[in-house]
A = this chain, B = another copy of it.
Amino acid sequence: MKLATLKEGGRDGTLVVVSKDLALCQAVPGIAPTLQAALDHWEEMLPQLQAASLSLNNGAARHARPFDPRACHSPLPRAYQWADGSAYVNHIELVRRARGDSMPPELWTDPLMYQGGSDSFAGPCDPITGLREEWGIDLEGEVAVITGDVPLGSGVEQAAQAIRLVMLVNDVSLRNLIPNELAKGFGFFQSKPASAFSPVSVSPDELGDDWRDGKMHRPLTIHLNGALFGQPDAGTDMLFSFPQLIAHAAKTRDLQAGSIIGSGTVSNKQGGLHGSSIGNGGVGYACLAEVRMYETIEHGKPQTPYLKPGDRVRIEMFDQRGRSLFGAIDQQVMHA
């Protein structure tokens, strides 16, 4: 089952069921007006949503219309929780080295996670706007899940059962604001502007074998200004699975239905700047900070700039037959 949210209809948009091939969609006002409403009553609504999905995929839906990702908001235009892990430890190591920070050994056993702002997400094709170039605008390509209710103290098994939908994220980061903010000790705030999510969210059963062990096992494809910039595999080097990240988040509190848990920037271990570059057969990067770190190590300073007005970021994921699973996040940076 694939679900998306059209912008029309108010702050929470309008829930639509989307066909497997992302060609068609249909609103389901008789079931749930919004994705949050569906998540609030998931057990009751799931059979009806599955029936609507089946009907749409069989060509039997009477009110089907073409699916346009540009008409979409993020699946949850605003959410009650966005908690982003950092499960690709290669990324943590590189970014911390770029900041001059060391790598505490407990990060190999205890997940890193920050509480993100969730009240005002960007849509998947919305511009990245209002941000100054000197703040160091970076993309971060990630995978995320939307959960059902997860009671305080839930274990990994229980957390796995609570995963409702999978999607992609561009967790935009302001790299030049991060060091001062983290030095104050309270974590990210101003350095994390609005994230955008893929137009389509997909139930784990729909993903077949590409979803297993609580991870997505497909490359995350990143284009920067039309050129392939990265295709790291989301299932490789992910030290903590989504169920582990969810259980971590629920250690001291309940997570309510509609909580979004992120993987952190997808990142694979590679052999330095040469070995990691797409042109040399590497898998590239899901953020600019990583290539800048490799450049710093090998050339003494970063050479690739952060994003500037006009730059375009595209983040998507394809199945083994090359079909887009979640639609594309496709954002252009605008002048502030």
> What is A's interface to B at a CB cutoff of 8 Å?
10-11, 40, 78-81, 83, 86, 101, 104, 106-107, 110, 112-120, 130-131, 135, 152-153, 174, 177, 180, 182-194, 248-249, 251-256, 258-259
Contact = CB atoms under 8 A, between A and B. Distances in A.
Given A130-B153, A153-B130, A186-B188, A115 B116 contact: yes
A18 to B, nearest CB: 25
Contacts of A174: 252
Contacts of A259: 119
20 contacts: A11-B256, A83-B117, A104-B183, A104-B184, A113-B186, A114-B186, A115-B117, A115-B187, A115-B188, A120-B255, A120-B256, A130-B153, A131-B252, A174-B252, A177-B252, A182-B185, A186-B187, A189-B249, A190-B248, A194-B253
What is the count of identical protomers in the complex? 2
Contacts of A249: 189
A252 B186 contact: no
B254 A194 contact: yes
Contact of A115 (B40, B104, B115): B115
B118 A81 contact: yes
Nearest to A189: B113
A230 B223 CA distance: 57
B187 A187 contact: yes
Contacts of A153: 130
A114 B252 contact: no
- Which of A78, A117, A152, A192 lies at the interface centre, i.e. has the most chain B CB atoms within 10 A of its CB? A117
Nearest to A36: B11
Contacts of A248: 190
Contacts of A119: 80-81, 254-256, 258-259
Contacts of A188: 115, 186-187
B184 A120 contact: no
A187 B185 contact: yes
Given A104-B184, A106-B184, A252 B130 contact: yes
Nearest to A86: B186
B78 A252 contact: no
Contacts of A258: 119
- Which of A184, A191, A193, A248 lies at the interface centre, i.e. has the most chain B CB atoms within 10 A of its CB? A184
A115 B116 CA distance: 7
A188 B249 CA distance: 11
